[in-house]
Amino acid sequence: MYEINSAAVIGAGTMGLGIAGQLANAGVPVVLLDIPANGDNRNAICERALERLLDESQPGLLHKDFVERITIGNIEDDLDKIRDADWIAEAVVERLDIKKALYKDIDAIRKTGSIVSSNTSTIPISLLVEDMPATFREEFAITHFFNPVRYMRLLELVQGEDTKREVIDCLDTFCDQKLGKGVVVCNDTPGFLGNRVGVFAIQKALHTAFELGLSPEQADAIFGRPLGIPKTGVFGLYDLIGIDLMSDVAKSLESILPEDDPFHEVAAGLPVMQRMIDEGLIGNKGGKGGFYQPADPARDISRKTLDLETFEYRDYVPCKLQVALDAELSGDFTPLLSLDDKLGTFAWEVLSHTLCYAASLVPDVNDSLVAIDDAMKLGYNWIHGPFEMIDMIGVDRFIARLESEDRPVPVFLRTAAGESFYSAKKKRLRYLESDGGFSRLRRAKGVRRFSELSRTLKPIEENAAASFYELKHGIGLVEFHSKANALGPDSMQLIEHAVDYASEHHCGLVIHNDAQHFSCGADLGTILGFVEKGDMDGLDAFLDHYQKTLQSMRYAPIPVVAAPSGLSMGGGFEVLLHTDKVIFHANSVTGLVESLVGVVPGGGGVKEMLYRWYEREGDITKAAWSAFMNIGYGKTARSPLEARELAMFRDGVDDWIMNRDRLLRAATDAVRELAPEYAVEKRQRLAMPGRDAWREMQEWLQKAHDKGHLTPHDVTTGSQIAMIVTGGDIDAGTELTENDLFDLERKAFVTLGRTTETRDRIRFMLEHGTPLRN
């Protein structure tokens, strides 16, 4: 019986460091080793690695204190430290000779029953362990993580010919439950699954864009969110990863894939890219730019695009297509495939070849289409997997178009003729096997994806922004599905109706969705509409409905549990603040950031944080200052552990888990646990700090402005936050109710809505996706 309670990672580069960090996040003590450095400090390489792990721009740890769980050393002086490790993960350079020599050293030291794995993405197990004894081969596997390890959900787990099933089962369970990964078991084939399909798609998009003469802006306007692919697009993704690195990845796959593999048709490098590499235009990491030069709004520098003929940077020209915007908003990309122009040709060529390539991998490379879909969704952040996309097009329609173009139809695609790859039957989701039969889609115990479950359910109510469903055990569920899950009037109306219905018919309510982000906040477009028209009565009514809806949720006669992942910001976080319990994903980002766009939280966020800080501090003035500072600076937490320090996570109430695919099950379990003894707990009035504290805060704001730390509008916004948390011009000790605090929030929001600065900041945020700082 294998069990992992301690670990060692050899190789402190990007991947090894990320793996060590995630083990530390999981509470596992880990030894991190690399080669000795030159000079007196032989552990300098690992010491510098830990500094990168703590980098504020993209921290690898859920909390900085977790670095204490990592012991560092080097493989010459400290290899003995791996002696007691239950799992030894190798993540050294992709050279077979180096790996083989290291395995012999590891095997001489490791304890009996320990597991050894490699993070290789290119070398088959058969070659890695060909010189090793049977006892080593039986306990060896490939565990291929994706970068950055903390955030990317996919783990490709590869079993060798001699690997014990118990070893694979142990790694599968541990990486799922403890490391939070979606584990896809792969055969020992070149490129496994994620990179094989993902790099093919990227290379096909790149080559097709050049063949059709598309600009980077045109190509990325299609090969991005409209297709359910990350917004970077193909040229933006090359810049993000690094043009030199992506070229190396393509060459690596080309060298290991069979000669007849279609990848070779798109693997060739392009002369223009070699010139870019030679001139140091390798993307974001190089500092000089790549296909794009990023904008810097703070310095009033706009985004630029490389003119591939003159090799000079020109102004970025957005390619705004209504059909692409419609596809992004609706989630239906299929109209793009029918466009009678170069962009339509681009969409069809790239997507159809990618989908055919994915279909050609079943069953020889992997028996299951689910594994391929999971690899692309978890490893490349596609919203839909290849086979889900074929179903959206229609299997027969897809085959017919391929045949009309005299293109070969993959055998497995032909098997699906007259059917679909996924289908719901008797409230069970099934998928097509390579032999033409259907099997029930089963996940590990505790894993439930609402994106899959919803295909077997009919909503009780739905609109363009949200839907309301009934789950098993009499539990209701609200799902947001607007763009970025921004919350507007439709969202609030749906929540309002769901709370009313669930209070009568259900034992509890869950707020959850499978999107990348739970909610990026209140719909700024709706707010800007009121501001631009000067309709302050309309703005006040919108906020009043928002507040009353969340208050009705908080005081519903049934427990309400939220299960967020990704961003829960502003108005989205205000939803969480009004639930009985929150089950956070480990990488949840939370905060009230409204001050950054020149307004205050208007859905009860200030009120709730004031109560939270008062419950923690026991002193209303201290609580007011804590709420004032955190909301005024728009502080965010990048994990539940950071949220705890900002009173955004309640000890003994809220919870967090590593794997987002386990959120839904955890939330429904929480509802069932709370429901039998559930009783609504009313909040007491707050004796407010009053005018003296309000004036002190205003004086602090003015001093910060005089020192150049705050803009004039920051002072205006901060003064309104101060008015809410102190009660404003009232005597100290004056008691206010929750509704009084709601009224103060609306008053402050509307006051700011009348200013041109707030209007300009909201406009800038909507246009650039980042706050305006002036």
Give the angle subtended at the CA of 355 by the CAs of 352 and 357, to the nearest 5°: 105
Whole-number pLDDT of residue 308? 87
333 dihedral zone (left: phi>0; alpha: psi -120 to 50; beta): alpha
**Partners of 159 in the beta sheet?**
141
Host H or E run for residue 274? helix 271-278
Whole-number pLDDT of residue 495? 98
Question: Do residues 39 and 121 make contact, with C-beta atoms less than 8 angstroms apart?
Answer: no
**For the residues 758-773, what does the mean pLDDT come to?**
88
Give the pLDDT confidence of 711-738 residue by residue, as tens digits: 999 999 999 999 999 999 999 999 999 9
Helices 386-393 and 395-404, axial angle in degrees (round to 10) = 80
Distances in whole angstroms, Cα of residue 85 to Cα of each of 91, 164, 490: 16, 18, 53
Whole-number pLDDT of residue 8? 98
pLDDT at residue 299 is higher than 80: no
Is the whole-model pTM more than 0.85?
A: yes
Give the pLDDT confidence of 10-39 residue by residue, as tens digits: 999 999 999 999 999 999 999 999 999 998
**Chain-wide mean pLDDT for the chain?**
95
- The Cα 166–Cα 591 span in angstroms is 43
pLDDT at residue 398 is higher than 90: yes
**For the residues 562-582, what does the mean pLDDT come to?**
98
Give the pLDDT confidence of 341-386 residue by residue, as tens digits: 999 999 999 999 999 999 999 999 999 999 999 999 999 999 999 9
- The Cα 624–Cα 610 span in angstroms is 6
Parallel, antiparallel or unpaired: strands 581-585 and 655-657: parallel
- The Cα 204–Cα 240 span in angstroms is 18
Give the pLDDT confidence of 583-634 residue by residue, as tens digits: 999 999 999 999 999 999 999 999 999 999 999 999 999 999 999 999 999 9
Q: Rg of the Cα trace of the chain?
A: 27
Whole-number pLDDT of residue 287? 81
Q: What pLDDT band is residue 297 in, cutting at 50, 70 and 90? A: low
Q: What is the 3-state secondary structure (H, E, C) of 57-123?
A: CCCCCCCHHHHHHEEEEECCCCHHHHCCCCEEEECCCCCHHHHHHHHHHHHHHCCCCCEEEECCCCC
Give me the phi and psi of 628, to 5 degrees please: -60, -50
- The Cα 553–Cα 498 span in angstroms is 9
Question: Do residues 204 and 229 make contact, with C-beta atoms less than 8 angstroms apart?
Answer: no
Whole-number pLDDT of residue 569? 98
- The Cα 727–Cα 737 span in angstroms is 11
Whole-number pLDDT of residue 771? 85
Which of 105-109, 136-140, 295-299 is least confident? 295-299
Distances in whole angstroms, Cα of residue 69 to Cα of each of 23, 609, 637: 9, 32, 21
- The Cα 266–Cα 204 span in angstroms is 6
Please give the sequence-ordered ranges of beta strands (E in DSSP) within 625-695, or none if there are none. 636-637, 655-657, 686-687
In the numeric block, which tokens belong to residue 665?
Answer: 């099950």
Map residue 470 onto helix, strand or coil: strand
Give the pLDDT confidence of 246-289 residue by residue, as tens digits: 888 889 899 999 999 999 999 988 899 899 999 999 998 878 89
Q: What pLDDT band is residue 409 in, cutting at 50, 70 and 90? A: very high
Q: What is the DSSP letter of 37?
A: P
In the numeric block, which tokens belong to residue 171?
Answer: 């790694």
- The Cα 118–Cα 128 span in angstroms is 9
**Dihedral (Cα; 324, 326, 329, 330), 10-degree rounding:** -120
- The Cα 714–Cα 718 span in angstroms is 6
Map residue 171 onto helix, strand or coil: helix
pLDDT at residue 47 is higher than 70: yes
C-beta neighbour count of 225 within 10 angstroms: 22
**For the residues 48-64, what does the mean pLDDT come to?**
93
Question: What is the percent of the chain where pLDDT is above 70?
Answer: 99
Sheet holding 30-34, edge to edge: 70-74, 30-34, 7-10, 87-90, 115-118, 140-145, 154-159, 182-186
Question: What is the percent of the chain where pLDDT is above 90?
Answer: 90
Q: Which residues of 29-50 are buried (b: 16+ CB within 10 A; e: fewer)?
A: ebbbbbbbeeeeebbbbbeebb
Q: What pLDDT band is residue 298 in, cutting at 50, 70 and 90? A: low
Question: Do residues 468 and 478 make contact, with C-beta atoms less than 8 angstroms apart?
Answer: yes
Whole-number pLDDT of residue 245? 86
Block residue for tokens 């993000």: 240
Q: Give 403: exposed, middle or buried? Use CB within 10 Å, 0-12, 13-18, 19+.
A: exposed
Question: Do residues 109 and 85 make contact, with C-beta atoms less than 8 angstroms apart?
Answer: no
Q: Which of 303, 244, 232 is nearest to 275 (CA)?
A: 244
Give the angle subtended at the CA of 401 by the CAs of 395 and 406, to the nearest 5°: 125
**For the residues 668-693, what does the mean pLDDT come to?**
96
- The Cα 761–Cα 767 span in angstroms is 10
Give the pLDDT confidence of 183-234 residue by residue, as tens digits: 999 999 988 999 999 999 999 999 999 999 999 999 999 999 999 999 999 9
Query: DSSP string of 179-233?
Result: T--EEEEE-S-TTTTHHHHHHHHHHHHHHHHHHHT--HHHHHHHTTGGGTS-TTH
**Partners of 90 in the beta sheet?**
10, 118
